[in-house]
Structure 1
């Protein structure tokens, strides 16, 4: 009898416990989906606008004369201030690959239209050469120069900031090329020969190739799930050098009175093509190579 009562008590306890458990909600923790890991890897494209300015160079030039009848005309030299400045803007495209949480390596190409130009004048006199000379003369030279467009193909290497994976500091450098237009005009005056003016002019319009280097900072300002999460803004500096140009010319007789042969000179004008660029831009990023997200099933 005692064993029968014990078995009945155990059965009643099991039934009551099951009923109680069925009425109590589950205490399992909710499933938390971690936020996606931020990555710079992928393609991008965008636009930029900025300002270009030069080094305020002094471009050297000079002329030499061939012998004029029985007279000797000494040569002369001058320098022309060259300080190019102007607005520029264009577009860029590139690819980044993030190798670890802090290292990002990429490549970028851009094309710019520019209003970077300069204009300058130089003047210098040369003394006479005694009895067989023509007396002193004064050479006047003017130069107009512009970079109508340029482009670059550059590597980029950058590092992210601790606790700010959406902020990138980078250095960049590579190939540069651009369209350079230059014109030089030279006139020479002889105070002791008031009827003689000699002049020359040369034009240059070619594509030149050089190098560029600089650095910048790029930042994704919008939260990961916002409408503008794929857009970044950047501030960038570049120094560009397309090398020097040297123009050569031979004079023509502009004016002589009384009519007759005049002196002939040969001149050269050398000018570097280099400038600084500060620009800001906006990029849209996308990664067609990213794997599709995995959706859990329960």
Structure 2
């Protein structure tokens, strides 16, 4: 009897093992793949160089006559007309070079990029003085009038936001816009002389930092880890500058015989290339989840 029970137990054990071997096995699913590293997120610094040229290349000169008792009243308006008009000026652009610093942040599954960038550049240029000469007969006296005009942007900087789309993980297409500032200078001098010995002179000047706006866009390529190269276009507008002064003479007509006002606009275009080094200090850590 005992022998029969032992045989039955052995049969059951063997059968259970066989059935267990036939059952399907279940394994835990593999962990999800790690997300791609945020190549662009973080701080960066870089250098740039390129060219700039102005969009407005003229200065409006308006001269208002002041009559002098005892003199022919027709003299002063005609002298004022000679010193008035739209005076062409040289392009206030040239070679541009400087540096930038910024921060990028990738979002929307790494497909979009937002950020902020600040930069400053110096401008190297040649002679920027223009001479504009007119002549007329004023109450029977030939008179010549010359206006010498110099205007320039000495440096320019921007503080801009950037928003772009990553066409590939390493190629960024972006638009940008924000604040622009620059050191501008304008100098105007007027000289008038007649064949009767008359001579008159007037001058105005302005030199200061102007604040305006800028907008543009560009391409940036991460050509190796932590290094990127970019090409960029910016339009800037620093607004209008007006200066005024007096026209005076030590000979006929005596003293001040007119007031002159000059208005010019400082706006232009920048095309530049640059290279950036990315520190990734501000990039969030990548945490694997299982």
Q: Is the 8 A contact 2:246 2:256 kept in 1?
A: no
CA distance, structure 2, for counterparts of residue 116 and residue 176 of structure 1: 20
CA distance, structure 1, for counterparts of residue 216 and residue 288 of structure 2: 43
Unaligned runs of 5+ in 2: 1-5, 11-30
The Cα of 1:288 is off from its aligned counterpart by: 2.0
Q: Work out the number of aligned pairs and report it.
A: 257
Structure-2 residue corresponding to 1:232: 228
CA separation of 1:206 and 1:56: change in aligned 2, threshold 3 A? closer
Q: Which moved more, 1:115-124 or 1:166-175?
A: 115-124
Unaligned runs of 5+ in 1: 8-30, 223-228
**Matching of residue 108 in structure 1 with residue 117 in structure 2:** yes
CA separation of 1:293 and 1:51: change in aligned 2, threshold 3 A? same
Structure-1 residue corresponding to 2:93: 85
Per-residue CA deviations over 1:39-83 (Å, capped at 9, x if unaligned) read 321111111111111225232213222113321322212322232
| TM-score normalised by length of structure 2 | 0.78
CA distance, structure 2, for counterparts of residue 59 and residue 145 of structure 1: 9
The Cα of 1:114 is off from its aligned counterpart by: 1.3
**Matching of residue 175 in structure 1 with residue 175 in structure 2:** no
Secondary structure of the residue that 2:104 maps to in structure 1?
strand
Instruction: Please give the residue correspondences for 1:1-298 in structure 2 after superposition, counting only pairs within 5 Å.
Output: 36-55=36-55, 57-68=57-68, 69-71=70-72, 72-73=74-75, 74=78, 75-76=80-81, 77-82=84-89, 83-100=91-108, 101-116=110-125, 118-125=128-135, 128=138, 133=139, 135=141, 137-161=143-167, 164-191=168-195, 193=196, 195-222=197-224, 229-253=225-249, 256=251, 261=254, 264-292=257-285
Coordinate RMSD, CA, aligned: 3.1
CA distance, structure 2, for counterparts of residue 234 and residue 151 of structure 1: 17
CA distance, structure 2, for counterparts of residue 102 and residue 291 of structure 1: 16
Q: Is the 8 A contact 1:42 1:95 kept in 2?
A: yes
CA distance, structure 1, for counterparts of residue 151 and residue 268 of structure 2: 13
The Cα of 1:150 is off from its aligned counterpart by: 1.7
| TM-score normalised by length of structure 1 | 0.76
Structure-2 residue corresponding to 1:15: none
The Cα of 1:84 is off from its aligned counterpart by: 1.8
Q: Which has the higher contact order (CA 8 A, sep 6+)?
A: 2
